Amino acid sequence: MKKQGKRYKQEQIIYALKQVGGGRKIAEICRELGVSEATYHRWKKQYAGMGVSELRRLKQLEDENASLRKLVSDLSLDKHILQEIVSKKL
């Protein structure tokens, strides 16, 4: 069974990445957070150069994208249902 680790908020990840930029060692930060260095490097690749405000904007866009995807899905289903109704009437 896979071990469930602690989930970190994006702001916490950005803070950890900035600490390394401030001169702290990667191993030290990883030990404090209880994550592997591989996780740290994945975070670095994913969040490289982002500030907290950019991160909030990214989250907002991801939420909007999810909402729009749901809307498109609902509209596609409505279209499909209407096409079936029209084809049965003909």
pLDDT tens for the chain, 90 residues: list them: 444 557 888 888 888 888 888 889 999 999 999 999 999 999 998 887 777 788 888 889 999 999 999 999 999 999 999 999 999 877
Residue by residue, DSSP assigns 46-75 as HHTT--HHHHHHHHHHHHHHHHHHHHHHHH
pLDDT, position 81:
94
Task: Give the global pTM.
Answer: 0.56
What is the rounded CA–CA span in Å between residue 8 and residue 16? 10
pLDDT, position 4:
54
Residue 61 has a CB neighbour count (10 Å cut-off) of 10
